[in-house]
Amino acid sequence: MSRYTLRPKAEEDLLQHEEYLAENASVETAGWFLDAVERSLRLLATQPEMGAQRAYRRPELEGQRMWPIRGFENYLAFYFPTDYGVDVTRVLYATRDIKRIFQE
């Protein structure tokens, strides 16, 4: 069965996005966001090669992919395909300095 796992940083990202949306949009929007994340990650788990492969200088990031959260396309899921589905490393807002984040 295909499934996804969230690394601690991805869980932290989701909590921060949920809080931001609840405070700056609405509690309903935050709920819709979390639902969209769930649907997107379940889809990715069944088709892990769907996302765009990213290129990084750090060898441990080789093979990492990126996929926009459907309905909230400015939020990007970063993940590694696995034998069971996907391992989500981060969920970031698109305007952040993503290259810098992954160089740290």
41-95 pLDDT, tens digit per residue, is 999 999 999 999 988 888 899 999 999 999 999 999 999 999 999 999 999 999 9
Domain that holds residue 27: 3-103
| Predicted local confidence at residue 55, as pLDDT | 84
- Name 79's bridge partners: 65, 88
Indicate the SS3 state at residue 88: strand
Residue 7's CB is within 10 A of a number of other CB atoms, namely 15
Using 50, 70 and 90 to split pLDDT, how confident is the model at 37? very high
CA atoms within 13 A on the CB side of 49: 1
DSSP 8-class letter at 55: -
Q: How many domains, in total, are found in the chain?
A: 1
Residue-level pLDDT at 54:
86
The whole model's pTM is what?
0.94
Please, are residues 34 and 14 in contact by the beta-carbon 8 Å criterion?
yes
